[in-house]
């Protein structure tokens, strides 16, 4: 029996589909940054990951002079942009 070889166009199209699905999945979460809940000053990520840390995750918004605004501490309150969408975020 002879094995059939995949055509290069089939491989390329499959790769493009996987790339598009990956970009869509990755872009569906809002930006998340660790901040001081009182001052909204950005903190190192370990301040939010450790149970004894002083930070809270802040979703979306933008940073100006090291402080965040325009987002929320409630993840569900922030729009999820996704691929081709308009998220709230960046900085």
pLDDT tens, residue by residue, 14-61? 666 665 655 555 556 778 999 999 999 999 999 999 888 899 999 998
Closest listed residue to residue 82, CA positions, set 40, 24, 12, 4: 24
**pLDDT(85) > 50:** no
Query: What is the structure's pLDDT at 24?
Result: 52
CB atoms < 10 A from the CB of 70, how many?
14
Lowest mean pLDDT among 13-17, 59-63, 77-81, 83-87: 83-87
Question: Is the torsion defined by CA of 66, 67, 71, 75 positive or negative?
Answer: positive
Query: What is the structure's pLDDT at 88?
Result: 45
Query: What is the structure's pLDDT at 83?
Result: 45
User: Are the C-beta atoms of 7 and 14 separated by less than 8 Å?
Assistant: no
User: Are the C-beta atoms of 66 and 41 separated by less than 8 Å?
Assistant: yes
- In the chain, how many H helices and how many E strands? 2, 3
């Amino acid at each position: 029996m002879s094995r059939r070889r995949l055509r290069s166009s089939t491989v390329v199209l499959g790769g493009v589909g996987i790339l598009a699905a990956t970009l869509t999945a990755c872009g569906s979460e809002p930006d998340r940054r660790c901040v001081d809940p009182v001052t909204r000053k950005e903190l190192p990520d370990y301040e939010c990951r450790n149970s004894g840390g002083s930070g809270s995750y802040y979703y979306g918004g933008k940073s100006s002079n090291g402080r965040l605004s325009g987002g929320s501490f409630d993840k569900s309150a922030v729009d999820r942009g996704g691929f081709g969408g308009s998220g709230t975020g960046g900085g």
